[in-house]
Amino acid sequence: MHFDVMEERRDRWGWSLRDAYGQEIAHSPMPYPSQVQASAAALAFSQLVADAGKQMRRP
């Protein structure tokens, strides 16, 4: 999996999480005014997902 950070419109940036086949798994819920902010939001999302994975319990 990987994140793509892209300019959706002029001065409107977003991120997309894609699987190994390029299929979109998740995307930013809102636009960001800069590439740096969209990248920071993608990083924060990835950390939330990693933390959630650590909290999962096996049956």
Whether 57 shows a pLDDT value over 80: the answer reads no
Q: How confident is the model at residue 55 (pLDDT cuts 50, 70, 90)?
A: confident
pLDDT tens digits along 16-35: 999 999 999 999 999 999 99
Please say if the pLDDT value at position 44 is more than 90.
yes
Query: Whole-model pTM above 0.75?
Result: yes
Q: Is 11 left (phi over 0), alpha (psi -120 to 50) or beta?
A: left
Domains and CATH numbers, the chain: 2-55 (3.30.160)
Q: Name 31's Cβ contacts closer than 8 Å, sequence gap at least 6.
A: 8, 9, 12, 13, 14
Q: Which residue has the higher pLDDT, 14 or 55?
A: 14
